[in-house]
Structure 1
């Protein structure tokens, strides 16, 4: 594993850092309080125009071919500015990578340029259902073949970016008689397709500017050409691509943890009690030292997983290790930062309150911490 970045990776990291500091960070508090959809989407579109929606996508389809390490670096920096924007970027990249990995030439040529350019504000990953969360093989959404079409019925929940996504990657049961996980197929569905209904955005604890919606399919007719990959072999697609998505969410968590700790560290250097700065007290120094050590370890785990992915080596276990560690240590970091601020940390005027709410979901979505441990243990005991 390389411990230094190439020129392109450094440029992407720096561009993401500047965009986060100049564009995202000044607006993050307002988006959290007022949910200004127009402002949010304008920022997302700018990221598309800068190339951040196709970081690991081939240039022939409008991507920048920078790789997974660059993706991790970019998401970490964007999260420091606005977690809602970072998760939209992460999931959209995941959707693009699904299409690139499994799609045929017609599908790739049609959808990828629209995602990479920002013409589509986002892509949506429609897997989770009310009865199929950590166990997606239990899904009930169906796709029945009808001549040259499929007819979809069912619903998905907790879908990031659903209300403004240009394309949905949707999983559905196509063979009810097959063993669980064996009769599932994957489809590409345009966001404006008849029979698709997107419910109002959920009222969430954090990451409020990013829409999370239920998506329903009511006798939704799609052409057979919408099938992504082979029929009845879609479950493997979901499992494979979720591993890459975990690098994104782990990187997002890392960015939140670093932003919170940087703010907390600066605060205790200025805040005085007992006639001296709080930063002079060893108890607080050790709290800060522990959190930064953990976040650095998280960063290295994420880069290891990303590097393995770039080298086309097995990385699923490493991605789960990185995701569970980064998300849990970022939660610790945000709550430590809140503690460093004392009462001020609990007030919305200070960003740490928002960061603590934003980070909580990172140990839940893209696979809970418990599921990551299942993945890791299966590999260890194989």
Structure 2
């Protein structure tokens, strides 16, 4: 749908694509093999001024819209799911809530360095015993004079061991249900009591750190409360409306990368005297991949545009996330099949896209939860 994109969006996409081809593609498999977080890539992305694409210029961001942010995320995912995931978590989950719900003092102190790319951010919601039921959390924050005291464990937290700030969800009123959850800003360097207790080895996305966090009497000044006490769950739902669009965009990028690898192979690899793409079975598979990607991209762009127009996007963001994440896995699996034995080796990219794509159906609400959300939106 290039013809519908504003000129500045197309220019930014091309700029990021050129960067990805030159700086990320050559190391994409190596950083996965080494389980290495590529800090230098994010320093370079800061130099490109894309670490705060949808954040207002007033707070150090680019002042772009959700559609522009989706395009950047897709381009990163097209070459590296890990870099795309850490980027999306930094922007949608760790930065945007401070802009939406913070005071001007909090935006200046905590949002500006995130948007300018001084460091990455993280967002801590999930716990060892609460996955899809994220509201059933055991982490608590108790008021003690002019401080809040955090205790508990958070699980599967992207960027936590490389973050300069972490937004933490905690129960401040155990008897209030959803209205008893609040959000706090934690400084990993300055706040005693927060420990990274595990960095997980995963099926894929191993250049994006996924951590377990432990809070033991972690004391925070009163001004670290984001928004009002008890607003945490409403903040979470609004944050995920945008976050799911970014995961949809990342999924489209993963699918596009896998598709391009398959198409290139199908035009170059010969069997029985002709390129394998000339055979119906392979051709139809590649054509099907292209069709699915275009569908997911259109849905993602529609959700992003509605978000920018200030409309309620709960249904569209869930639709986009559900469709794009499942398409990413399907397309990546087909790409492995097109390459045959070579597709199963780490010398070729499809295996990496295949492994990376699976998380898209799990993170920020599983496919099953998206169907639940969509059913509710339809009154079912």
Match of 2:107 in 1: 108
**Aligned pairs for 1:268-307 within 5 A:** 268-307=266-305
Q: SS in structure 1 opposite 2:71?
A: helix
1:235 to 229, 233, 236: 233
Alignment of 1:84-103 (within 5 A): 84-94=82-92, 95-103=94-102
Tell me how far apart the structure 2 counterparts of residues 90 and 47 of structure 1 sit (CA, whole Å): 13
Q: Which sections of structure 2, spanning at least 5 residues, go unmatched?
A: none
After superposition, residues 230-379 of structure 1 pair within 5 angstroms as 230-379=228-377
Q: Distance in 2 between matches of 1:316 and 1:49?
A: 33
**C-alpha distance in structure 2 between counterparts of 1:282 and 1:377, whole Å:** 38
Task: Find the residue that maps to 1:285 and give its secondary structure.
Answer: helix
Aligned to 1:188: 185
Q: Verify: 1:197 aligned to 2:195, yes or no.
A: yes
Describe the superposition over 1:223-251 as per-residue Cα deviations: whole angstroms up to 9, x where unpaired: 11100011012111011101111111111
Residues 151-202 of structure 1 show CA distances to partners (whole Å, capped at 9, x for unaligned) of: 0000100000000101101100000111x21200111111221000012310
Query: 1:102, 1:65 → 2: CA distance?
Result: 17
Seen in structure 2, the aligned counterparts of structure 1 residues 2 and 227 have a Cα distance that, compared at 3 Å, is farther
CA distance in 2, matches of 1:367, 1:19: 31
Give the secondary-structure state (helix, strand or coil) at the position aligned to 1:327. Answer: helix
Q: CA deviation at 1:89?
A: 0.9
Q: Does the aligned pair in 2 maintain the 1:257–1:330 contact within 8 Å?
A: yes
Taking the TM superposition and a 5 Å limit, the aligned residue runs for 1:48-59 are 48-59=46-57
Measured in 2, the distance between the counterparts of 1:79 and 1:102 equals 28
Report the alpha carbon displacement of residue 35 of structure 1 after superposing the two structures with TM: 2.6
Aligned length: 378
Distance 1:375 1:303 in 2: 20
For structure 1, which segment, 224-233 or 192-201, has the greater mean C-alpha deviation from structure 2 after superposition?
192-201
* Cα drift, residue 7 of structure 1: 2.3
Q: Is the 8 A contact 1:52 1:89 kept in 2?
A: no
- Match status 1:65 vs 2:66: no
SS, match of residue 181 in structure 1: helix
Give the distance between the partners of 1:363 and 1:235, measured in 2 at CA. Answer: 22
For structure 1, which segment, 331-340 or 283-292, has the greater mean C-alpha deviation from structure 2 after superposition?
A: 283-292
The alignment status of 1:146 with 2:162, answered yes or no, reads no
Aligned partners of 2:194 and 2:213 also within 8 Å: yes
Aligned equivalents of 1:109, 1:302: Cα separation in 2: 31
Displacement of 1:2 in angstroms is 10
- Return the TM-score normalized by structure 1: 0.97
Counterpart residue number, 1:118? 117
Any stretches of 5+ residues in structure 1 without a counterpart? none
Alignment of 1:23-42 (within 5 A): 23-37=23-37, 40-42=38-40
C-alpha contact (below 8 Å) 1:257/1:333 kept by paired residues: yes
Q: State whether residues 9 and 66 of structure 1, in contact with CA within 8 Å, keep that contact through their aligned partners in structure 2.
A: no
